Structure 1
């Protein structure tokens, strides 16, 4: 009986027929996780590319006066409709500025009293967005006028393609944004911001 057991153990020790299945079982989970991760990143890159292309075409049409603000929103929504049909959402931001140096900055202080470098009582400023108050964000909503700089941002959000997010603790939605700035054509004289004093 001991001899038969020894022979069986020797045969099992030398048998390599199931080793491939065991090895595949060890690498299958990391392999599939890597493939899903690459697919997720590739899809996000695709979303960013599509969003950028749609935004560039819309901004170019707007800068020459072909489309107004409402038409731009409709154009972008129409172009993104295939993506949005898969439970996606698209948001559009349009802000106009007097020149490139003012994008994303506070309204320009023209007369500065102590303390210097910050807006306070007695200061004068360029009311770039025409709302009669000093703003830390100078841009005006919309497309502005002739020769103005328009900042566009389009963000698309949608559910992830793979269940990878839940396994890694990521958000279940992914977003892609595209931003661009274009100067409107000089079809008229550019309006200058009004200087206001407090």
Structure 2
């Protein structure tokens, strides 16, 4: 089991965020226990964050280290939206994002588990099951259905995969999904330093 924590508010500027990472690393909190992924994305003056943690307890332990530094840099402690993770997949990659990486946030109306499973199955059959250009993919559950966030090395690879998703959805007659264009933004920083999270599909 895992939980996705997302902050859609303006947390810090790019310069302050970079200083935050430096201070956390210096204090021994740069790679906290229980955090599977960390993605910072958006405009330099409006950065957003998505984390995946193995438990709220580990996040709270990290928050005790994070919040004093965040406040000192002019940030405001804000509550995250917390959602259960449904599925995670990624290639065998570790490191930080290179310039030009993109985050795609896909929020199709009313997608359910069986639809998601069929889409992923057909993507694999078409050769898009684990594209090497996709650094990170997480599917999580909100009240309105399943949502997806993925990080890509470049826009060309992302568009090719998404066009395949649209074709699959049209073939399966999944209403609404082909009309839901993902929101795409630049990645500022990506940290992936943990093993694969066991799927919590249900």
Q: Point out the structure with the larger helix share.
A: 1
TM-score, reference length from structure 2: 0.30
TM-score, reference length from structure 1: 0.30
Q: Point out the structure with the larger strand share.
A: 2
